[in-house]
A and B are shown apart, each in its own frame.
Chain A
C-alpha cells in the first residue's frame, strides 16, 4: 500500500541558505501535518493543512512557510537556515476524523 512519501531523505545546507522539503500524502487523506523532531526530542507540530487550506499552526518560525498544492502534495520552505534547524522533519497525513496519522520516513536536514 502507498505510504506518505517525503523527499529528499537527507539534505545538507549551509547557514542562511534555503531548503524545500516535499511531502506526498496518502491518496484520499484530507489532512497533512508537518512535524520537527530534534535529537532525543518528541515531534513538535509545525503546521497542518486540511483540504489544501492551512488549518492549524504550531511553533513554526516566521522563516518557514508551507503550502499544499492542488494535487495534495505539500512543501515546507525554510529560509535563512540556522544551525538549530538541524532536525528530522516529518510529514504525516490522515483522514481528519479520529484516525491515526501515517508518517513519512522523514527528511534529515543538517545545517552546517
Chain B
C-alpha cells in the first residue's frame, strides 16, 4: 500500500495525558498536512510542512499541540495535557507542490 499511513488508528486516553500520532506520507510527496475533524464537520486545517519546514500553523493549534517533520519524511503530532475538547479524528494528508492532497484514514482520539 503506497498511500498515506497513520498510526495508531484509535487512541483512548485519560484527560491530562500526552498523546503522539504518527503520519507516513506518500514517499515522493514533499508536503505534509495535519487536519482535525469533529463529528458532522469537514476537516479543519491545523498545520503543514514543506519538506522539514513548518510553513503555517492554524490558530486552532494551541501551545499544547506540536508537530514535527524532522527529516522531511514522516511527521508526528503531539498533544500535551489532553482535554475533553481534543476528542476528534486527526487526519494527515500529503501532496507534491501544486498537486491535490491525499488523505490517510486518520487517528481517532477519545478522551475519557
Partners in one complex: no
B residues in contact (CB < 8 Å) with A: none
A residues in contact (CB < 8 Å) with B: none
